Amino acid sequence: MSIQIRNVTKTFGSFRALDDVSADIPTGELVALLGPSGSGKTTLLRLIAGLEDLDPGRGSIRYYEEDITGTPVRKRRVGFVFQHYALFRHMTVFENVAFGLRVLPRGARPTKAAIRDRVLELLRLVQLDGLAGRYPAQLSGGQRQRVALARALAVEPRVLLLDEPFGALDAKVRTELRQWIRKLHDELHITSVFVTHDQDEAMEIADQVVVMNGGRVEQIGSPAEVYHSPRTEFVMNFLGQVNTFTGRAVGRDIEFADLRVAASDGRLRDGEVRVFVRPHEFELRGRANGQPCAAATVLRIHAAGSVARLDLQLADGKLITAEVPQDRFAALAASTGDLVYVAPRRVHVF
Amino acid sequence: MAGSASMSVAVGARAAPPATRDAPAVRWTLTAIALAFLALFLVLPLVVVFAEAFREGIGAYLASFDDPDALAAISLTLLTAAVAVPLNVAFGICAAWAITKFKFPGRPLLVTLIDLPFAVSPVVAGLIFVLVFGLQGWLGPWLVARDIRVIFAVPGIVLATLFITFPFVARELIPLMEEQGTEEEQAAMTLGARGWTIFRRVTLPNIRWALLYGVILCNARAMGEFGAVSVVSGHIRGRTNTLPLHVEILYNEYSFVAAFATASLLAVLAIATLVLKSLVEYRIQRQVARASAGAAGREALP
């Protein structure tokens, strides 16, 4: 484990930003801290960097087994990429990237020629060769982001920390840049943590996702794990669309909307529960075939896209959304106003 | 200041449509009134200063400076500025740095206190020093016992000038540093830089034009201050007279040529200040324009 976060608590005045947070960042992986604003994800990142101090005596942070709780930022050897890049506006791209090398103590400082070679190599790596003489104001957002990355990498950091790295970019540049960052990470294998509020972003490029809410960690796991086996209602709701019902638990079964199905985790329960079904976890049929299903009226069809999305209304008036693959939708041949039968393949109860 | 600069840039970039559809006669009348006012209250006094100074020819003009009292006033003024300006640059940077880069209890109070010299009448400022350091003042007996003269001596003049010019540098820096935030410093910190390195290589270059602007204004006021200095100086000829005080004395003694000749020095200082100020403003404006051009280009570039 390159970073171990243990029982970390951080308060700002009376506001508790982080509440007993523990997490491990495995060496060489790209980890996303995912959560809505105010969930404490940026605070956690800044604590890892040392830009904020832990509440005294409340938890510890270790880098490669070394406790760095009291170590000042400049000694931690972290690469930090700020949301708005924080490039030195009065320095050229070259000088920005060279900064971390130039401020090294005299004994450790490379020669001028070595600094030059290293900076040019980094600029090639981030595909900015030829722009070394520009000022930050003369660059596009994506280019600035890459300068910030090169600058952070120049000091050969033990961990790379990125605060909302794609937040300030427009949609197209954003998708390109995140695939590029994933590729870069696969080349460099530097342990990296990035903060994001966009679940698609986390799902697409992270090896591990730390889902946070209200200053606590909700779940840690691979993108597939947190998506398919959410452990809390919050994770269920936050990662993608979901239909919510009120139902009753009877043993391992759940009763809701005239249906009785087994809960996905197979635990014994009793009493009133909230039931979650993802749109793609509904099976749609043209007619009832004896298996448990509920009748629903088709209100709207969105057929454009990789899957067909249907807005349906159950007999009791409840509105739900279902997604079926295009070929299944073609076989179903349903149109607005038709009656279809829905059967959930998986239901989640917490 | 940076805000107003960026605004004028924005206005200049577009060809501004006329604000009103008034008849040319109305427009010309309004412009004429404004120009006449300007000529009467700003240009005329300046012309009068030089006209009176040279009334008896260049010889008489130069002769006014061939007087030990005048030379003493000039050197005292230069000395005062030479002490007050560097000290206030140091204080101003410290105050602005503390106020904008850190959160601490009493911060709003400090911000308010910086403006105190602007809020209080210079005469009152002078009186405060007399009350503190004067013979009858709090520290008076203590100072007398040690034979240290503050009031009616050079230290009092320097102190009063320091007080009056304190806000200039800090007031220029605070809004700019507030706007620039602390992210660049934090970035430098993560890259391994120490406090002093961060200040020298990141903070200072970012504020240098605003700092120079503050220094120019601070210097102009330090050399031109009358009220506070007048109270603490005691008007001892050749010893505690600064240029503005010297002008007053000469004028009261009906030595008009000498008075205006000395005043012309202050006028030249004022003009030089305005020119420098415009140059610095131009540089700041260009900096802002470059930054906003970059920001506009960001959307266009891939």
Tell me what the mean pLDDT of segment A73-93 comes to.
91
Q: How confident is the model at residue A311 (pLDDT cuts 50, 70, 90)?
A: very high
Q: Please give the residue of chain A at the shortest CA–CA distance from B184.
A: A86
Q: Please give the residue of chain A at the shortest CA–CA distance from B198.
A: A103
Structure confidence at residue B11 (pLDDT): 42
Query: Chain A residues with CB inside 8 Å of B289's CB?
Result: none
With contact defined as beta carbons under 8 Å apart, do A269 and A249 qualify?
yes
Residue A252 φ/ψ, nearest 5 degrees: -90, -5
The sign one gets for the Cα dihedral B50, B55, B57, B60 is negative
pLDDT at residue B16 tops 80:
no
**A321 Cα distance to chain centroid:** 24
Structure confidence at residue B300 (pLDDT): 40
The sign one gets for the Cα dihedral B262, B265, B266, B268 is positive
CB spacing of B186 vs A51 below 8 angstroms: yes
Q: How far off is chain B from A100, nearest CA to CA, in Å?
A: 5
CB spacing of B201 vs A142 below 8 angstroms: no
Residue among B190, B202, B206 whose CB faces A73 most closely: B190
Task: Give chain A's count of helices (H) and strands (E).
Answer: 9, 20
Q: Work out the mean pLDDT of chain A and round it to a whole number.
A: 90
Residue among A100, A142, A143 whose CB faces B192 most closely: A100
CB spacing of A90 vs B189 below 8 angstroms: no
- Which residues in A have their CB inside 8 Å of a CB on B? 49, 51, 73-80, 82, 84, 86-91, 99-100, 103-104, 135-144, 151-152, 154-155, 170, 173
Structure confidence at residue A5 (pLDDT): 93
Structure confidence at residue A345 (pLDDT): 87
Residue among A78, A140, A152 whose CB faces B302 most closely: A140
Token pair for B298: 């960001």
CB spacing of A88 vs B187 below 8 angstroms: yes
With contact defined as beta carbons under 8 Å apart, do A210 and A34 qualify?
yes
Pure H helices in chain A: 41-49, 93-102, 112-125, 141-153, 171-188, 199-205, 223-228, 233-238, 326-332
Token pair for B63: 């002769």
Map chain B to HEC letters: CHHHHHHHHHHHHCCCCCCCCCCHHHHHHHHHHHHHHHHHHHHHHHHHHHHHHCCCHHHHHHHCCCCHHHHHHHHHHHHHHHHHHHHHHHHHHHHHHHHHHCCCCCHHHHHHHHCHHHHCCHHHHHHHHHHHHCCCCCCHHHHHHCCCCCCCCHHHHHHHHHHHHHHHHHHHHHHHHHHHCCHHHHHHHHCCCCHHHHHHHHHHHHHHHHHHHHHHHHHHHHHHCCHHHHHHHCCCCCCCCCHHHHHHHHHHCCCHHHHHHHHHHHHHHHHHHHHHHHHHHHHHHHHHHHHHHHHHHHHHCC
Per residue in B179-237, pLDDT (tens digit) is 888 899 999 999 999 988 999 999 999 898 889 889 988 998 998 888 888 888 888 87
DSSP 8-state secondary structure symbol assigned to residue A52: S
DSSP 8-state secondary structure symbol assigned to residue A109: P
Q: Which residue has the tokens 């899957």?
A: A307
Residue B179 φ/ψ, nearest 5 degrees: -65, -35
Give the span between the Cα atoms of A93 and A119, in whole angstroms: 9
- Find which of A42, A48, A88 to mutate to test the B interface (most B CBs within 10 Å of its CB): A88
Structure confidence at residue B17 (pLDDT): 62
Q: How far off is chain B from A88, nearest CA to CA, in Å?
A: 6
Sheet of A15-25: strands edge to edge? A15-25, A3-12, A60-63, A66-67
Residue A254 φ/ψ, nearest 5 degrees: -125, 130
The sign one gets for the Cα dihedral B287, B293, B299, B302 is negative
- Find which of B102, B180, B191 to mutate to test the A interface (most A CBs within 10 Å of its CB): B191
Tell me what the mean pLDDT of segment B71-94 comes to.
91
Question: What is the helix (H) or strand (E) element at residue A270, kind and residue range?
Answer: strand A269-277
Q: Please give the residue of chain B at the shortest CA–CA distance from A155.
A: B191
Structure confidence at residue B297 (pLDDT): 44
Nearest residue to A212 (alpha-carbon basis) of A81, A20, A342: A20
Per residue in A184-212, pLDDT (tens digit) is 899 889 999 999 999 889 999 999 999 99
Residue A236: is it exposed, middle or buried by C-beta count within 10 angstroms (0-12/13-18/19+)? buried
Tell me what the mean pLDDT of segment B244-264 comes to.
87
Structure confidence at residue B290 (pLDDT): 62
pLDDT at residue B287 tops 70:
no
Cβ neighbors of B5 (< 8 A, separation 6 or more) are B281, B284, B285, B288
Q: How confident is the model at residue B291 (pLDDT cuts 50, 70, 90)?
A: low
CB spacing of B191 vs A88 below 8 angstroms: no
Structure confidence at residue B4 (pLDDT): 40
- Find which of A53, A119, A138 to mutate to test the B interface (most B CBs within 10 Å of its CB): A138
Nearest residue to A339 (alpha-carbon basis) of A294, A300, A297, A282: A297
Euclidean distance between the first and the last CA atom of chain A, given in angstroms as a whole number: 30
Tell me what the mean pLDDT of segment B276-301 comes to.
65
Structure confidence at residue B238 (pLDDT): 77
Q: How far off is chain A from B93, nearest CA to CA, in Å?
A: 19
- Which residues in B have their CB inside 8 Å of a CB on A? 183-184, 186-194, 197, 201-202, 205-206, 290-291, 293-295, 297-302
Nearest residue to B205 (alpha-carbon basis) of B86, B287, B123, B99: B287
CB spacing of B183 vs A80 below 8 angstroms: no
Q: How far off is chain A from B216, nearest CA to CA, in Å?
A: 22
Query: Chain A residues with CB inside 8 Å of B301's CB?
Result: 139-140, 143
Give the span between the Cα atoms of B113 and A94, in whole angstroms: 42
CB spacing of A82 vs B202 below 8 angstroms: no
CA-based angle B204:B4:B198, to the nearest 5? 15
Structure confidence at residue A24 (pLDDT): 92
Structure confidence at residue B15 (pLDDT): 54
CB spacing of A103 vs B191 below 8 angstroms: yes
CB spacing of A88 vs B188 below 8 angstroms: yes
Structure confidence at residue B3 (pLDDT): 40
* pTM reported for the whole predicted model: 0.78
Tell me what the mean pLDDT of segment B36-62 comes to.
88
Structure confidence at residue A279 (pLDDT): 92
Tell me what the mean pLDDT of segment B83-102 comes to.
91
Euclidean distance between the first and the last CA atom of chain B, given in angstroms as a whole number: 32
Residue B138: is it exposed, middle or buried by C-beta count within 10 angstroms (0-12/13-18/19+)? exposed
Per residue in A206-254, pLDDT (tens digit) is 999 999 999 999 999 999 999 988 999 999 999 988 999 988 888 888 8
Residue A323: strand, helix, or coil:
strand
Q: Work out the mean pLDDT of chain B and round it to a whole number.
A: 83
Encoded amino acid at A252, one letter: R
Q: Please give the residue of chain B at the shortest CA–CA distance from A172.
A: B302
Question: What is the helix (H) or strand (E) element at residue A62, kind and residue range?
Answer: strand A60-63
Structure confidence at residue B12 (pLDDT): 43
Q: How far off is chain A from B281, nearest CA to CA, in Å?
A: 17
The sign one gets for the Cα dihedral B87, B92, B97, B102 is positive
pLDDT at residue B286 tops 90:
no
Tell me what the mean pLDDT of segment A290-304 comes to.
87
CB spacing of B192 vs A51 below 8 angstroms: no
Structure confidence at residue A169 (pLDDT): 81
Q: Which residues pair with A24 in a beta bridge?
A: A4
Give the whole-number percent of chain A exceeding pLDDT 90: 53
The sign one gets for the Cα dihedral A7, A8, A11, A15 is negative
CB spacing of A104 vs B291 below 8 angstroms: no
Per residue in B135-184, pLDDT (tens digit) is 787 888 888 888 888 788 888 899 999 999 999 999 999 989 988 888 99
Give the span between the Cα atoms of B170 and B89, in whole angstroms: 8
Q: Please give the residue of chain B at the shortest CA–CA distance from A173.
A: B302
Q: How confident is the model at residue B9 (pLDDT cuts 50, 70, 90)?
A: very low
Residue among B192, B294, B300 whose CB faces A137 most closely: B294
Structure confidence at residue A235 (pLDDT): 94
Structure confidence at residue B202 (pLDDT): 92
Give the whole-number percent of chain A exceeding pLDDT 70: 100
Q: How confident is the model at residue B6 (pLDDT cuts 50, 70, 90)?
A: very low
DSSP 8-state secondary structure symbol assigned to residue A140: -
Structure confidence at residue B20 (pLDDT): 67
Residue A247: strand, helix, or coil:
strand
Give the span between the Cα atoms of B164 and B266, in whole angstroms: 18
Q: Please give the residue of chain A at the shortest CA–CA distance from B190.
A: A74
pLDDT at residue A315 tops 90:
no
Per residue in A114-159, pLDDT (tens digit) is 999 999 999 999 889 889 999 998 899 889 999 999 999 998 999 9
pLDDT at residue B10 tops 70:
no
pLDDT at residue B7 tops 70:
no
Residue A301: is it exposed, middle or buried by C-beta count within 10 angstroms (0-12/13-18/19+)? middle
What ipTM is given for this predicted complex? 0.83
- Find which of A52, A74, A87 to mutate to test the B interface (most B CBs within 10 Å of its CB): A74
Residue A103: strand, helix, or coil:
coil
